[in-house]
Amino acid sequence: MDTIITRFPPSPSGYLHIGGARTALFNWLYAKKTKGKFVLRIEDTDEARSTEESVTAILKSLEWLGIDWDEGPYFQTQRYDIYNEHIEKLVESGHAYNCSCTKEEINAMREDARAKGKNPQYNGRCRNLNLPKSDNTVVRLKTPATGVTLVKDMVKGNTSFQNAEIDDFIIQRSNGVAMYNLAVVVDDLTMNINTVIRGDDHLVNTPKQILIYQALGAELPLFGHVPMVLGADKARLSKRHGAMSVGEYQKMGFLADAMINYLVRLGWSHGDQEFFERKDLIEKFDLEHLGRSASMFDVDKLLALNAKHIQKKSPKELGEHLLFHLKTLGIEAKNDAFTQGVIETLQPRSKTLVEMASAAVFYYRDAIEFDEKAAHKFLTPDTMEMLTKAADAIESLVDYSQENLETIFKTLMEDTGFKFGKIAQPLRVAITGTTVSPGIFEMLLALGQEKTTQRIRRACTFIQDLA
């Protein structure tokens, strides 16, 4: 085979969902692995349901995932002349014909076939009439009455379809618009697509498309139909299983690399390996290990993978992603040394960037609010003297380091008779407003000497005001 050329043809009648993103990913990875081409095509012939909003959302989702395309996006609504040209060739060559049968007549044919115990379908009445094209005629493909159409599938294996069960199906409506199966074949032919990886819900269309290829005298592409993604209850994936549009996962704080990792594992394997970085997937992806059974979508597994990818990335890499989520909380920040230091304290315990952003808020606020229960328990006259000494000692440090902070704590423990926790918790509440935070020393270092001192002193003022 020459250069591998794959494609992804979403319909812009909604957002990009998990199943579509996985299909795009498989095609993109195979093109990258083989140094081929990946084509993006927008199948928008259903003009009543297609919207610009959906097109924009699909493109943004692909861009967020890092799935780039070598050609396109092509739009089917801009290709009607190309479809009509191929339809005319099929009619002229005798592989297709004009049909004037009405819906009522076709329904009668189907009912008659049912009554005789046959497959309800069009009976080919106009097949040999050589009718001229008119405003009320459709164009049908002449399909073989006998034999089988074999779908050679690199995932599912060979599947045979009896030609007698495939009627002379419509390839062009009476209004001149090409039908889906015709448009898909012509697009793939004219775009030189030679590898088609798609969901197995399309398998039912494949024998019809093969017949169109054969009528056009064209070579077939390599087909691979991957099983659907299901929910944990083995029902078709839906929102109730936690599956939403790809854009929603970005808003929920998932990393694109984690989504890519998780999506590719929904139907492909490389031994027992679960964690993959993007470069690993491009290097290792193949068609031989695409699975034949349906995959189950599991939000918990996605969260676990996302946590691993967060831990794997450098603070600088994460900074660019975190800024988006901080902004949604009203915090304008930069990906500077301060933010990267904040990230270091939160990386080990964050499953999503939303979690990380929420936990980072206290670092950026000039004034923090004290949790009522935490303040009542830890910001008391009994801790006032210790907090004042801590602020004085921290403010006087020439070298603001963990070693020197640990020395301050030891001194405070000796002077007050408090154990470590009795010192750390009041300080934690003074600095964050709550009893939950990163490790005390890493947090103090990330916050910085000046802010740390200011916050402890504010807590002391808070205690005085209460008294």
β-pairing verdict for 222-226 and 195-199: parallel
Place of tokens 């390839």: 171
- Same domain for 18 and 48, yes or no, is yes
Same domain, 386 and 462: yes
- Helix (H), strand (E) at residue 5: strand 5-8
Regarding whether 356 and 373 lie in a shared domain, the answer is no
- Does 174 share its domain with 158? yes
**Residue 190 and residue 247 in one domain:** no
Number of domains in the chain: 5
Nearest-angstrom CA–CA distance, 335 and 347:
15
What is the CATH classification number for the domain harbouring 245?
1.10.1160.10
Pair 197, 321 in one domain: no
pLDDT in tens, the chain (467 residues): 589 999 999 999 999 999 999 999 999 999 999 999 999 999 998 888 999 999 999 999 999 999 999 999 999 999 999 999 999 999 999 999 999 999 999 999 999 989 988 889 999 999 999 999 999 999 999 999 999 999 999 999 999 999 999 999 999 999 999 999 999 999 999 999 999 999 999 999 999 999 999 999 999 999 999 998 887 777 777 666 666 789 999 999 999 999 999 999 999 999 999 999 999 999 999 999 999 988 888 999 999 999 999 999 999 999 999 999 999 999 999 999 999 999 999 999 999 999 999 999 999 998 889 999 999 999 999 999 999 999 999 999 999 999 999 999 999 999 999 999 999 999 999 999 999 999 999 999 999 999 999 999 999 999 998 87
Q: Residue 240: is it exposed, middle or buried by C-beta count within 10 angstroms (0-12/13-18/19+)?
A: exposed
Three-class DSSP category at 157? strand
Provide the residue range defining the domain that includes 351: 313-360
CA dihedral 322→327→332→333, nearest 10 degrees, is 0
Annotated catalytic residue 279: no
Residue 223 domain flag = no
Residue 23 and residue 166 share a domain? no
Tokens of 236: 């078709």
Q: Identify the CATH number of the domain in which residue 374 sits.
A: 1.10.10.350
Q: Which CATH number do you get for residue 172?
A: 3.90.800.10
State which amino acid sits at residue 167: D
Strand ranges for 205-286 from DSSP E = 222-226, 229-230
List the structure tokens of 35: 């140094």
Catalytic residue among 118, 239, 327, 373: 239
101 with 248, same domain: the answer is no
Q: Please, where are the H alpha helices in 34-75?
A: 52-65
Same domain, 91 and 163: yes
Smallest CA-to-CA distance from 331 within 295, 358, 293, 300 is with 358
> How many Å apart are CA 392 and CA 457, to the nearest integer?
9
Asked if the structure places residue 387 within a domain, the reply is: yes
What is the rounded distance in angstroms from the CA atom of residue 467 to the CA atom of residue 362?
A: 25
Q: For residues 152 and 98, state if they share a domain.
A: yes
Are residue 66 and residue 207 in the same domain, yes or no? yes
- Provide the token pair at 261: 């990792």
Residue 282: alpha-carbon gap to chain centroid:
17
